[in-house]
């Protein structure tokens, strides 16, 4: 097991090596309101190159768009200094200007070239939440944040059929009970569907059309031009 150690501040002028089980913050971030919004995970100042070290293989640089407009070369220099020291490199941008679109387009291109992940926050509180979430999920398995789906037949049928407008879970239960399967529902006519409790001609037509219309609309032939 690899243990990462950093130099962290524990008092005025005092440095000591500690295990990085907290967010390690570059001292240049002192005074940044984002730090006050990191409340749910531990943090400490340390002698690190990134602005925030979030784990053994992940880090973040922070950038205010207002500061970027005043110092356009700052973040490019920081990215070059950071290099490829971490597997996950995040550029956390606080959008605090009225018209951010041009600057964000430039930063997006910069992140692509530097192989960084660009994350936007519209407040210091939101930026702090992103940082503490990355730290909190540092050692969590990927399936923890995956959507949990039920595996039984009715649940799968519900996920499928409720994508049709106005069809709810009760309607799906009615259809499956009446026609026994998705195949049976597909084979049913509009008239059979309309006879189900809670259905009428309009809802039956929506279900029937959704199950029988082609996924791609056929292109209409162009009218012949008169010579």
Highest mean pLDDT among 139-153, 179-193, 210-224: 179-193
Query: What predicted TM-score, i.e. pTM, was given to this entire model?
Result: 0.57
For the cut 50, the answer to whether the pLDDT of residue 47 exceeds it is yes
d(CA 16, CA 115): 32
Q: Mean pLDDT for the chain? A: 84
For the cut 90, the answer to whether the pLDDT of residue 18 exceeds it is no
Q: What is the structure's pLDDT at 138?
A: 81
Residues 171-200 have pLDDT tens digits of: 999 999 999 999 999 999 999 999 999 998
Q: What is the structure's pLDDT at 3?
A: 36
Q: Are 62 and 92 in contact (CB under 8 A)?
A: yes
Residues 111-143 have pLDDT tens digits of: 999 999 999 999 999 999 999 988 888 877 766
d(CA 45, CA 213): 61
Q: What is the structure's pLDDT at 12?
A: 33
Q: What is the structure's pLDDT at 151?
A: 73
Rg, Å, the chain Cα set: 28
Q: CA-CA-CA-CA torsion for 201, 202, 204, 208, nearest 10 degrees?
A: 120
> Backbone dihedral region of 17: left (phi > 0), alpha (psi from -120 to 50 degrees) or beta?
beta
């Amino acid at each position: 097991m690899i243990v990462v150690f950093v130099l962290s501040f524990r008092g005025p002028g005092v440095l000591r090596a500690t295990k990085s089980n907290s967010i390690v913050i570059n001292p240049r971030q002192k005074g940044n309101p984002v730090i006050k919004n990191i409340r749910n995970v531990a943090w400490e100042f340390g002698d690190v190159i990134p602005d925030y070290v979030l784990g053994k293989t992940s880090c973040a640089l922070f950038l205010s768009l207002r500061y970027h407009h005043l110092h356009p070369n700052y973040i490019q220099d920081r990215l070059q200094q950071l290099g490829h020291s971490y597997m996950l490199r995040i550029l956390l941008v606080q959008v605090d200007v009225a018209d951010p679109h041009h600057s964000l387009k430039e930063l997006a291109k910069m992140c692509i070239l530097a192989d960084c992940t660009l994350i936007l926050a519209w407040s210091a509180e939101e930026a702090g939440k992103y940082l503490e979430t990355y730290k909190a999920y540092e050692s969590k398995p990927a399936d923890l944040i995956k959507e949990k789906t039920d595996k039984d037949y009715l649940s799968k049928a519900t996920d499928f059929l409720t994508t049709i407008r106005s069809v709810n879970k009760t309607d799906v239960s009615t259809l499956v009970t009446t026609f026994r399967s998705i195949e049976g529902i597909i084979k049913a006519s509009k008239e059979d569907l309309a006879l189900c409790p809670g259905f009428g001609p309009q809802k039956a037509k929506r279900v029937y059309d959704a199950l029988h219309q082609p996924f791609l609309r056929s292109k209409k032939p162009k009218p012949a031009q008169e010579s």
